[in-house]
Amino acid sequence: MSSFAARCGIHDERREARAQQLSRLIGESGIELVRFVWCDLHGVTRGKTLAAPAALRALREGVGMVSTLMLKDTSDRTAYKVFEPGGAAQLPGFEFASNLILLPDLSTFRQLPWSPATAWLQCQPWFQDGTPVEYDTRRVLQAALRQLGDAGFAMKCGLEIEFHIYKIVDTHAQLDPAQADWPGQPPNVAMIHPGYNLLTESWFDMAEAALRIVKDTAQALGLPLMSLEIELGPSQVEAVFDATDALTAADNMVLFRNGVKQALRRAGYHATFMCRPPFPNIMSSGWHLHQSLVDAKTGVNAFMRESPSHGAGREDAAHSLTTVGEQYLAGLLQHARAAAVFCTPTANGYGRYRPNALAPQSVLWGRDNRGAMLRVIGECADAATRIENRVGEPAANPYLYMASQIHSGLDGIRRQLKAPPATQAPYAATNDKLPTSLAEALDALRGDDVMADAFGERFIRYFTHIKQAEATRLDDAKDKDDFQRREYFSRI
């Protein structure tokens, strides 16, 4: 009888050879446990850990997963009433918390540097009849990349991620059974550096023990880490990664974020990718996504211009971007408000959009302007010419963040949109503003027909339904600070 992977149409001779190779590796390396992991809607890794003998079978047969894991909001509450008649009518296959099957991408196999004799495989969900689950966010990005490929392009992305690391003082409140709640308390923490001394070497030295764990973890996982830096805020740091293809970059973000949290936790630290941790006098963290298109056949940067367009001034996109680059830029601007909820998916993240804070507030672009939402980097004949989107928060699901950029940019290319002049005043009161709340961002997405068509109306309904549950609970919360402390700081 054929394996489940074969019935799904993905198990060919090449995959079988890889499965046999991994079987030998698991046996020869003394691996005892294998984590079969899936990235959920909120960018959190979930899954099951199998003993080595069971893991060998799961390479071909997969691992069962309760389908409600795909229906959770950020509190881990199921946002659909799956046990009520019609409660999951819009989601066939999810009724009554039925099972899905996780099948691993065998190319993602890694041994975890912080967990002895433990390996890791990234998976994607399938229905039991062998059809793919379209709501899986990795599939959403894969579908967007196929559309991009049909247009003759591929995408490269570089990651620039700000986050906070704290030293755990005690976990009494978090682990005291008498204080258990849903969601629970975070640990009590202290800072690893006092902040407000950007890039200072002495603060790096103070934080080096934690940052070495970050470095060692990233490199042991094979991630293209370039630098670790002290950011402006207290206990805030930044990691910068070299550019890769978009799917690899998204996978790397998932692996980095969750791996770093686990490795630091074992050493007595609490890392959070929450945008604005629940303390006074902190600085918001952003995730700046550097992106460019390349010719799918030649790999040549499709944004790079050899010389400025005739008559173009430095305020014009055509001064350093090709026609395709300008059209892509214009598409990002056209759909910026609708895409905001994919770039900043938590209610907490909208506190970052404020003037004169090295964070965007308005829908505009600038030439090497860190106050603008979109920063065009590179002069003529620069092979690294790219667009940096500064709107994202580090908690964003990377697959949805990148897919939103592709769909926005492709619309600009298809409609041959022209970008406005570069801003000289990114915080002017008259500028078209980004959404200021999760609820406003959801409304902007619902009102954008192009994005609904690109992502698919069923996915948009699914996504907005779950995110609306989060927004509604925040609105109803008596203590909104405590809501964010438990829901975001404790978990993200």
Determine contact, residues 155/404, Cβ cutoff 8 Å.
no
Per-residue pLDDT reduced to its tens digit, 371-421: 899 999 998 888 999 999 999 999 999 999 999 999 999 999 999 999 999
pLDDT at 464: 97
CA nearest to 163, candidates 300, 258, 88, 93: 258
> Which residues, including other chains, have CB under 8 Å from residue 84's CB and lie 6 or more apart?
none
Determine contact, residues 483/477, Cβ cutoff 8 Å.
yes
Does residue 331 come out as left (phi exceeding 0), alpha (psi in the -120 to 50 range) or beta? alpha
Per-residue pLDDT reduced to its tens digit, 255-307: 999 999 999 999 999 999 999 999 999 999 999 999 999 999 999 999 999 98
Q: Name the band, by pLDDT with cuts 50, 70 and 90, for residue 490.
A: confident
Residue 107 burial (CB < 10 Å; 0-12/13-18/19+)? exposed
pLDDT at 312: 78
Beta-bridged to residue 170, according to DSSP, are: 188
The structure tokens listed for 474 are 């925040």
pLDDT at 135: 97
Q: Name the band, by pLDDT with cuts 50, 70 and 90, for residue 429.
A: confident
The rounded radius of gyration (Å) of the Cα atoms in the chain is 22
Per-residue pLDDT reduced to its tens digit, 169-196: 998 888 889 888 888 889 999 999 999 9
Cβ neighbours around 108 below 10 Å, total = 14
CA nearest to 403, candidates 223, 161, 139: 139
Q: Does residue 1 surpass a pLDDT of 70?
A: no
pTM of the entire structure?
0.96
Cβ neighbours around 181 below 10 Å, total = 7
Q: 3-state secondary structure string, the chain? A: CCCHHHHCCCCCHHHHHHHHHHHHHHHHCCCCEEEEEEECCCCCEEEEEEEHHHHHHHHHHCEEEEHHHHHECCCCCECCCCCCCCCCCCCCCCHHHCEEEEEECHHHCEECCCCCCEEEEEEEEECCCCCECCCCHHHHHHHHHHHHHHCCEEEEEEEEEEEEEEEEEECHHHHCHHHCCCCCCCCEEEECCCCCCCCCHHHHHHHHHHHHHHHHHHHHCCCCEEEEEECCCCCEEEEEEEEEEHHHHHHHHHHHHHHHHHHHHHCCEEEECCCCCCCCCCCCCCEEEEEEEEECCCCCECCECCCCCCCCCCCCHHHCECHHHHHHHHHHHHCHHHHHHHHCCCHHHHHHCCCCCCCCCECCEEECCCCCCEEEECCCCCCCCEEEEEEECCCCCHHHHHHHHHHHHHHHHHCCCCCCCCCCCCCCCCCCECCCCHHHHHHHHHCCHHHHHHHCHHHHHHHHHHHHHHHHHHHHCCCHHHHHHHHHHCCC
pLDDT at 19: 96
Please report the domains of the chain, with CATH numbers, ordered by start residue: 4-133 (3.10.20.70), 144-489 (3.30.590.10)
CA angle (296, 149, 388) in 5-degree steps: 75
Whole-number Cα distances in Å, 410 to 23, 130, 316, 332: 42, 31, 20, 9
- Poorest-pLDDT segment among 152-156, 207-211, 213-217, 425-429: 425-429
Determine contact, residues 30/119, Cβ cutoff 8 Å.
no
pLDDT at 411: 98
pLDDT at 364: 96
